[in-house]
Amino acid sequence: MTESIRRSGEFEHEGPQGAYARQHVHSTPVNPEWPPPPPYEPAAATVTAPGTEPAAGPATGTAERRPRGPMALLTAVAIVAAAVGGGTAYAFQELTGKDTVASAGTTTTVVPSSKRGDVAAIASAVSPSVVEIQATLGHGSSTGSGVIITSGGEIVTNNHVVAGASSIKVRTSNDKSYTADVVGTDSSKDLALIKLRGASGLTPAALGDSSDVQVGDSVIAIGSPEGLTGTVTSGIVSALDRDVTVSTDESQGQGQGDDGQWPFQFGGRQFNGDTGSSTTTYKALQTDASLNPGNSGGALIDASGHVIGINSAMYSSSSQASSSSDAGSVGLGFAIPVDTVKSDLAKLRAGSTS
């Protein structure tokens, strides 16, 4: 059904069989952008103001107006805009087959501004986005952590957590277990992307901007040290752009079935056993938030609840590594900046195995 609307001053000539003439009604245009009425006024004309309908019988006065034109138009535009926007987003996801990665610039606030820096509030908000990873290796097993970046189950972790794995099991904060597959790896940056099978509705972390991080900023770390899922520690950013060297050999992951050592070099010195002949060096954020074996691949989070780094290495002297009673964090932990993760994500999604 269509509706005919004539501007103020427009008219229709009645046919020769017209029963009567209608009195012309002066009307000011509702919308000032419409053109003014013509300079002449025919004696016999039907005048309809915008948003009104002609009177049912002979007009003896002004037809009653109903305020529906502009308001109805605005409402319709809002509904159509919402439908188009939602449809476009859905179509994009259907075409790409990927969820959108949450980013600090495009996502809602993780924690309220009044709770900024509140460790309990940040931990409560971000813990559902951090998982425990159990990788079965040819020589044993590896325990690490990972960060959910899409609701469909894409997870970022360290390459050394899953390198050489024959199978990967993931446990979420609500104790659900999934099987995961490796999508892509980048040993030069010690990063890997895995995907859960049959997962949906997960809580993705909001990725922040590590270029804005300053020494002294408060941070918290969430991971699964020694298999203790969802462990939260706090501290500050101790330094920026530290050169950290780790092994890229498949046999040098976070061993749990072997000697439990974590090969790692820093400042020209070697820690936690032999790093092997194949290594990579990257720039890292240094933190005094407690990190232990099992924290690898977990989240380093700023005061607003945004992930600013992927925890990757810790300092532990050789004497500590040889004695379980003395082993533990001494406040020298390192994380891969999240900007490095974001720049590498397309490569990982494409199935890189470097």
Return the CA Rg of the chain. Answer: 33
Residues 6 or more apart whose CB falls under 8 angstroms from that of 131 comprise 145, 146, 147, 148, 155, 170, 171, 172, 173
Q: How far apart are CA 204 and CA 184, in angstroms?
A: 19
Could you confirm whether 296 is annotated as catalytic? Answer: yes
Q: How far apart are CA 284 and CA 233, in angstroms?
A: 18
- Pinpoint the alpha helices (H) of the chain: 69-96, 119-126, 159-162, 318-321, 338-349
C-alpha distances in angstroms, 317 versus 57, 220, 253, 297, 321? 99, 23, 18, 21, 6
Structure tokens at 115: 């709770």
Active-site residue (options: 296, 304, 316, 329)? 296
By the 8 A CB rule, do 224 and 230 touch?
A: yes
Residue type for position 333: G
**Which H helix or E strand runs over 302?**
none
* Burial per residue of 43-54, b for 16 or more beta-carbon CB atoms within 10 angstroms, e otherwise: eebbbbbbbbee
Could you confirm whether 26 is annotated as catalytic? Answer: no
By the 8 A CB rule, do 111 and 121 touch?
A: yes
The torsion angle over the Cα atoms of residues 93, 99, 101 and 107, rounded to 10 degrees, is 70
By the 8 A CB rule, do 288 and 95 touch?
A: no
Active-site residue (options: 145, 186, 187, 190)? 190
Could you confirm whether 160 is annotated as catalytic? Answer: yes
Q: How far apart are CA 171 and CA 240, in angstroms?
A: 31
Active-site residue (options: 8, 160, 302, 329)? 160
Q: How far apart are CA 57 and CA 278, in angstroms?
A: 94
Active site residues: 160, 190, 296
